[in-house]
């Protein structure tokens, strides 16, 4: 990976297990800040649990975190309304990616970050070919750069699993919104 030391990078983190290897990789290459904006997560207790774990990882790595608001009603109105029964990976998920990446790009541009990226492509079922074009679109809109890596590649997923297990990081068993909860919960 190229040397971009000193450049400001805002990394949207969806959760700690998906982000830990990315933070470890980027913290030495960039002036890194982590951005927690995930109003999709339901219920509130789960949201707080995931956020606490991201804060813990960032504390260990000495990386600052921006803790955005839990705009769950806005997320529901703009993303899920009418799409409650759509299968995971469908239109609701694309809107969910857009919702979070739009806010990340807007914050990055307003706060003079040169790069932004997201841990979203780390997820086993998350397609980089869906997520990265959305990031590029907002990068263009806000005139910044999007780091369009598929974070599942290059052994990062395995590295993330190793670190997560060493640090005993909480690993959830569903994507995040109430519509992705396992049926037996």
Can you give the binding site for ligand SF4, defined by CB under 6 A?
40, 88, 92-93, 96, 175-177, 179-180
What is the nearest approach in angstroms of ligand SF4 to the Cβ of residue 117?
17
Q: Which two tokens stand for residue 9?
A: 């990078």
**Residue closer to ligand SF4, measured from CB, 110 or 183:** 183
What is the nearest approach in angstroms of ligand SF4 to the Cβ of residue 14?
9
**Residue closer to ligand SF4, measured from CB, 60 or 81:** 81
Q: What do you get for the CA distance between the two ends of the chain, in Å?
A: 42
What is the nearest approach in angstroms of ligand SF4 to the Cβ of residue 107?
19
What is the nearest approach in angstroms of ligand SF4 to the Cβ of residue 74?
14
DSSP H helices in the chain: 16-26, 44-61, 72-75, 91-110, 128-142, 156-166
Helix, strand, or coil (residue 32): strand
**Residue closer to ligand SF4, measured from CB, 33 or 40:** 40
CA–CA dist 170, 96 (Å, integer)? 22
**Residue closer to ligand SF4, measured from CB, 81 or 88:** 88
Q: Which residues pair with 115 in a beta bridge?
A: 9, 145
What is the nearest approach in angstroms of ligand SF4 to the Cβ of residue 143?
27
**Residue closer to ligand SF4, measured from CB, 30 or 35:** 35
CA–CA dist 36, 41 (Å, integer)? 11
CA–CA dist 150, 129 (Å, integer)? 9
């Amino acid at each position: 990976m190229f040397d971009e030391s000193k450049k400001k990078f805002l990394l949207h983190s969806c959760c700690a297990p998906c982000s830990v290897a990315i933070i470890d990789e980027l913290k030495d290459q960039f002036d890194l800040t982590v951005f927690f904006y995930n109003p999709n997560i339901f219920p509130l207790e789960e949201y707080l649990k995931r956020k606490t774990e991201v804060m813990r990882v960032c504390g260990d790595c000495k990386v600052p975190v921006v803790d955005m608001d839990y705009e769950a009603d806005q997320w529901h109105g703009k993303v899920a309304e009418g799409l409650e029964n759509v299968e995971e990976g469908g239109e609701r998920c694309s809107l969910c990616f857009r919702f979070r990446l739009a806010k990340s790009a807007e914050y990055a541009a307003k706060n003079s970050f040169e790069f932004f990226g997201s841990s979203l492509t780390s997820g086993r079922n998350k397609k980089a070919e869906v997520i990265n074009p959305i990031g590029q679109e907002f990068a263009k809109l806000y005139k910044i750069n999007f780091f369009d890596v598929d974070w599942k590649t290059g052994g990062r997923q395995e590295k993330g699993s190793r670190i997560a297990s060493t640090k005993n990081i909480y690993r959830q068993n569903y994507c995040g919104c109430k519509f992705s909860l396992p049926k037996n919960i």
